[in-house]
Amino acid sequence: MSKKILLLSGPNLSVLGLREPSIYGKNTLNDYINKVKEKALDLGMEADSFQSDSEGDLVTTVLNAKDKYNGIIINAGALTHYSYSLLDALSYFKGPIIELHISNPLGREPHRHKSVIASRVNGTIAGFGLYGYELSVIAISNLLESND
């Protein structure tokens, strides 16, 4: 049975490719999802994805992921910086979690410098755009192999 991972995408990521392309590039959310699914297959895993602009929907999805997925990759968008409810849900999940950002939050506005979910994730990949999504799948795969 192959490992299953979940790619979670937070608020405003549905408009990738249109929203601030000078920061986020021209790739759409589907481009990012397809990259994750392709790399997961290359590594013998399955990947599902979920995007919502609603904090509650993301929290519910994380809580429901506990018995369905082995690992989570999350680009929480702005929720990264203030969502303690998302942190609590991620703390309930027992598998590895990678925090992911298309741009580098530490190189941007001061309100983006703090991640409240960082205390629960295994690592953060930031600033590599589409390639960061591929790196995050590799990281999850390595973490899952080391847990076997």
Q: What is the CATH number of the domain that holds 37?
A: 3.40.50.9100
Cα distance between residue 20 and residue 5, in whole Å: 28
**Can you give the pTM of this predicted structure?**
0.92
Please tell me the total count of domains within the chain. Answer: 1
Residue 1: pLDDT over 60: no
Q: Average of pLDDT values for 111-124? A: 90
d(CA 46, CA 111) in angstroms, rounded, equals 35
pLDDT in tens, 8-50: 999 989 888 777 777 777 899 999 999 999 999 999 999 999 9
Which residues have a catalytic role annotated? 24, 101
Tokens of 34: 């397809």
For residue 124, give its domain range. 3-147
Residue 13, class by beta-carbon neighbours within 10 Å (0-12 exposed, 13-18 middle, 19+ buried)? buried
User: Is 65 in a helix, a strand, or coil?
Assistant: helix
